[in-house]
Amino acid sequence: MSIPQPSGFFIKGVLSGAPHTLVIGPFGFLFGVVATEAGLSVFEALSFSVLVVAGAAQLTALELMQDNTPTVIVILSALALNLRMALYSAAMTPHLGTARFWQRMAAAYTMVDQSYATSILQYENNPQMNMPQKLAFFFGVATPVIPIWYALTFFGALAGQSVPAEIPLDFATPLTFIALLAPLLRTVPHILAALASVIAGLLFHAMPYNLGIMLAGVIGMSVGAWSEQRGFGERRG
What are residue 235's DSSP bridge partners? 187
- pLDDT, residue 208, reads 80
**Model pLDDT, residue 129:** 93
- Distance between CA 100 and CA 167 in Å, rounded? 45
Contact 28, 156 (CB under 8 A): yes
Q: Quick one: which of 214, 222, 235 has its CA closest to 193?
A: 222
| Domain boundary assignment for the chain | 6-182, 185-237
The whole-number pLDDT of residue 179 equals 59
Cα 145 to its chain centre, rounded Å, is 11
Query: According to the model, what pLDDT value does residue 58 have?
Result: 86
Report CA 99 to chain centroid distance, whole Å: 22
Phi, psi of 231 (to 5 degrees): 90, 15
Kindly give the parts of the chain with pLDDT less than 50.
Answer: 1-2, 235-237
CA distance 210 to 197: 14
Q: Residue 170: its pLDDT value, please?
A: 59
